[in-house]
A and B are shown apart, each in its own frame.
Chain A
């Protein structure tokens, strides 16, 4: 079975400060991990993914994520937050061993960047 946990419903950070949005996962095979962002009344936008290789993945809009196999985590990070980063962030996982296209989403974390 696959699952994703985002332990924080809400993260607040001051503009210019580094931000972290946490994600842990559980899969039986190799994990394929994704981050998406959703702005109000919009669809989801793909930010980045981890498939294999370097544990640090760089994505859109200055975001990056670090894959940690021992801690089964894939936290989203950005060195300096912008007010425009305020949105809902979803972590998602696929089990690479199944070949299935199903994406399992976490419950989402609302990021608020305070000016």
Chain B
């Protein structure tokens, strides 16, 4: 099973809402990532989790709050977002943290629209 799943596929939320994005993988990968991708742009790294601990936060605003409840799950909690946060949010995983040879496996993404 080389699949990373993400739910929901689409999400529309108001600026005062609280919502969460979910990501799951069952490949035994110990590194998990959140990326943000705007239209026609490359993915931008937001967070990296290594062995369920946050290892990289790319200066992401606090209205985005990641969580890794266990080695298979990664959440992104959203609160008080701005319209410019509308984007495709991608989750990815790779086998071992600190192994730069490993490719990352991406989920299909959650298309987020903030109104």
Contact = CB atoms under 8 A, between A and B. Distances in A.
Interface residues of A, number: 25
A44 B100 contact: no
Contacts of A32: 100-101
Contact of A108 (B42, B56, B107): B42
B42 A49 contact: no
A18 B105 CA distance: 27
Contacts of B48: 101-102
Interface residues of B, number: 29
Interface in B58-115: 90, 92, 94, 97-109, 111
B103 A34 contact: yes
Interface of B: 4, 6, 31, 33, 40-43, 45, 48, 50, 56, 90, 92, 94, 97-109, 111
Interface of A: 32, 34, 36, 41-46, 49, 51, 90, 94-96, 98-103, 105-108
